[in-house]
Amino acid sequence: MKLAPVHAALSSHGVRQSIVHTGQHYDESMSAVFFRELGMPAPDVNLEIGSASHAQQTAQIISRLEHVMTDLRPDVVLVYGDVNSTLGAVIVCSKMLIRTAHVEAGLRSFDMTMPEEVNRIVTDRLADFLFTPSIDGDENLIREGTPPEKIHFVGNVMIDTLIRLLPHARMPPAWDERDYVLATLHRPSNVDDDVALRGLAGALLEISKEAPILFPVHPRTRQRLSGLDIHFNRARVHLLEPLGYLEFLGLQRQARLVITDSGGVQEETTYLRVPCLTVRENTERPVTVTAGTNRLVGNDPERLIVQALRVLRGEGTQAEIPPLWDGRASERIAEILVNATAMAS
């Protein structure tokens, strides 16, 4: 969702690009379907890393990517978000003196127990171009001593994709109701801890008494639920297979409430002005709380139930769309990169 609009914007400037898929997300429902729905070309290279520990996965990315960069010798490498692929790529490029651009730079949760926070900090330290989605990103980078000339406030590329595809969003074929809660859970702190997962499952069952819950289940979460022998009332909590972008966007748009631990969903619900409860104690996207519809509830089941029932019983939240979330962030990125590359050559 982040790559697609930037790829299109750079293509409009005639920039030759290569897409390297590390294979960190390899499941059909979590990878290939997005390339199709977003209208992106197939990756030029797939490293086929697959699943492993954070250290092993990052090490494999570094090892395999070095050979790719030797062959391609790009002028600039764009990295996105905060996953291990992002970290691995920026390390390789910094060693090989290849310039890098970090799309979605400057976000901070200030929680160093999150692997993603480590990835963000290291990536921003090494990258040459830092494209921030919100003003707090600029503030974080300045506070950390980043040279201001590296920082570019461009807006949110996730919203570029949302705006472009919102007219094409659709509901899953088996669901045409409009009175429901949408839930997603996948973070280790929520699904790898037996006590936390049981508590959240119980909270969803309680909330479902007020409105049915649609729950597209991440493969990691499904495995954990089956291992703990957790069963939902299927008349009220509907477990779905992972959805493509267009179907998930359709469900978000029509939901009365979204319960999630996903960073991207916090942003999308803010733009859509749909109430969102985030099952985390912190967020690297505070603008979704200060300006948007997002509220942090931690992974306390009782707190989640109370806040969810408040929303479902009419206590809505006022929301604003943050600055530069206007569908043109990718165009700004392309212009900056094209101008910088032209000056360098």
Q: Catalytic residues, which ones?
A: 186
Dihedral angle at the C-alpha atoms of 145, 149, 150, 156, nearest 10 degrees?
Answer: 110
Distance CA 236, CA 204 (A): 9
As a residue count, the chain comes to: 345
Confirm if 181 and 214 have CB atoms less than 8 A apart.
Answer: yes
Distance CA 74, CA 98 (A): 7
Q: What type of residue sits at position 194?
A: D
Distance, CA of 29 to chain centre: 15
Distance CA 274, CA 258 (A): 7
Strand partners, 294: 276
Distance CA 205, CA 232 (A): 7
Strands (E), the chain: 20-21, 45-46, 76-80, 99-103, 129-132, 151-153, 181-183, 213-216, 237-240, 257-260, 276-278, 294-296
